[in-house]
A and B are shown apart, each in its own frame.
Chain A
């Protein structure tokens, strides 16, 4: 094993890591937002919407992320929807994550006792206010650990978007190993970077969740 190439490659690796972090940050925000809408729609929406959401969840959960990514990046242009790699990656990651988090958010909504809604309505809040101010914060508190795991899993899965030439961490590793001919060492270093990222992301979410939601996350 030889690591003489490492100092010269540090900036490439750092740049890739920053892109990976940006990808997961955008995905987390968009995915969580989408899954709140999805979970609410699945509970209170019209029948057709409920059925559509149920199918969307099943289709995404039963097909590989890589195939979803290829379908969006290579397949959608034939419908006239042409996305650049970064947008396609964010779209695929968001749609993938939301399918998993819709179920998680839904479980959280179910866990909030019905009395909370009744009490809020009795105080004269409108039903949208009840959802946003009363039910949702309590639901998020319950599901925060599961949500955290799902975000970390999505970050690790994002390695795949290197396949459509998004210049994130894995893509930089691919370029590096082609240049240094030190494939094993390159991927070893990058694997350790991913490990550090996933540990840091978990720590950040747990601390942030405790502070913002008062969630008792361990």
Chain B
């Protein structure tokens, strides 16, 4: 049997944590891009487009992320795509994030006074120009705190990709635990690493919130 020292465990966990970070970033960026598209549908003038986007958001917010990941993992091969855990993880978390981010940003758009749209229109701006120059910058700015808060949720959610076989922090810790039989130490360390990643972001979100409340 291979002997694992404490530092072997820590080193292996930290190496695996790189994948957690990478996956979180990829899903956040991907979710942001897809979330923008969903947002466009969600705030469009067309009633059916709004309903479609609402349905999309309700679907992702009303089902477990684990099921969404399973459907990606088993569904994409049915379309003839060869799929690795990494692809299923990124795609699953991207769609998951897009629904939440679209809903967060939509709340920002809704919070803006009607006059902002009217002012844009009176300046002769086109709908897309209004969005780009007036509405979206303000909507993003007032929803910065919940957006950062969601990033924390997303980082924690990457733990679920261990179940579909992606080698991130939790899956690696399962393997280490099976070799060392020291679950208390191993899972304690994993929790600590997640805490170190998430806590500063949580504090940052809180600062943003306080600053927004002061205005």
Binding site for B on A (CB under 8 A): 1, 58-59, 61-68, 70-71, 74-79, 152, 156-160, 162-163, 170, 173, 177, 183-184, 187-188, 190-191, 194-195, 198-199
- Find chain B residues with CB under 8 A from A157 CB: 64
Complex CA–CA separation, A87 to B195 (angstroms): 25
In the complex, the answer to whether B184 meets A79 with C-beta atoms within 8 Å is yes
Indicate with 1 or 0, residue by residue over B45-88, a CB within 8 angstroms of chain A CB atoms.
00000000000000100111111101100110010000000000
Q: B34 an interface residue at 8 Å Cβ cutoff?
A: no
Binding site for A on B (CB under 8 A): 59, 62-68, 70-71, 74-75, 78, 152, 156-160, 162-163, 170, 173-174, 177, 182-184, 187-188, 190-191, 194-195, 198-199, 202
Complex CA–CA separation, A194 to B66 (angstroms): 11
7 interchain residue pairs of minimum CB distance: A64-B159, A74-B183, A159-B64, A62-B198, A183-B74, A75-B184, A64-B156
- Find chain A residues with CB under 8 A from B66 CB: 159-160, 162, 170
- Find chain A residues with CB under 8 A from B67 CB: 159, 170, 187, 190-191, 194
- Find chain B residues with CB under 8 A from A162 CB: 66
In the complex, the answer to whether A58 meets B71 with C-beta atoms within 8 Å is no
Contact of B62 among A65, A160, A183, A199 (CB under 8 A): A199
**Closest residue of chain A to B195, judged by CB?**
A62
Contact of A58 among B159, B160, B194, B199 (CB under 8 A): B199
- Find chain B residues with CB under 8 A from A188 CB: 71, 75
Complex CA–CA separation, A69 to B168 (angstroms): 17
**Closest residue of chain B to A194, judged by CB?**
B63
Could you tell me the distance in whole angstroms from the C-beta of A180 to the nearest C-beta in chain B? 12
Q: List 23 A-B contacts (CB under 8 A).
A: A58-B202, A59-B191, A61-B198, A62-B152, A63-B156, A64-B156, A64-B157, A64-B194, A65-B156, A67-B159, A71-B183, A71-B188, A74-B177, A75-B184, A78-B182, A156-B64, A156-B65, A163-B163, A184-B71, A184-B75, A187-B70, A194-B64, A199-B62
In the complex, the answer to whether B187 meets A195 with C-beta atoms within 8 Å is no
**Closest residue of chain B to A170, judged by CB?**
B66
Complex CA–CA separation, A122 to B94 (angstroms): 56
- Find chain B residues with CB under 8 A from A62 CB: 152, 156, 194-195, 198-199, 202
In the complex, the answer to whether B70 meets A68 with C-beta atoms within 8 Å is no
In the complex, the answer to whether A170 meets B75 with C-beta atoms within 8 Å is no
In the complex, the answer to whether A67 meets B70 with C-beta atoms within 8 Å is no
In the complex, the answer to whether B74 meets A70 with C-beta atoms within 8 Å is no
In the complex, the answer to whether B59 meets A195 with C-beta atoms within 8 Å is yes
Could you tell me the distance in whole angstroms from the C-beta of A62 to the nearest C-beta in chain B? 4
Complex CA–CA separation, A199 to B55 (angstroms): 13
In the complex, the answer to whether B160 meets A66 with C-beta atoms within 8 Å is yes
Contact of A66 among B70, B152, B162, B195 (CB under 8 A): B162
- Find chain B residues with CB under 8 A from A78 CB: 182-184
In the complex, the answer to whether B159 meets A66 with C-beta atoms within 8 Å is yes
- Find chain B residues with CB under 8 A from A66 CB: 159-160, 162-163, 170
Contact of B183 among A68, A75, A170, A177 (CB under 8 A): A75
- Find chain A residues with CB under 8 A from B160 CB: 64, 66, 160
Could you tell me the distance in whole angstroms from the C-beta of B205 to the nearest C-beta in chain A? 11
The answer to whether residues A70 and B202 also contact, given A183-B74, A188-B71 and a CB cut-off of 8 A, is: no
Could you tell me the distance in whole angstroms from the C-beta of A41 to the nearest C-beta in chain B? 21
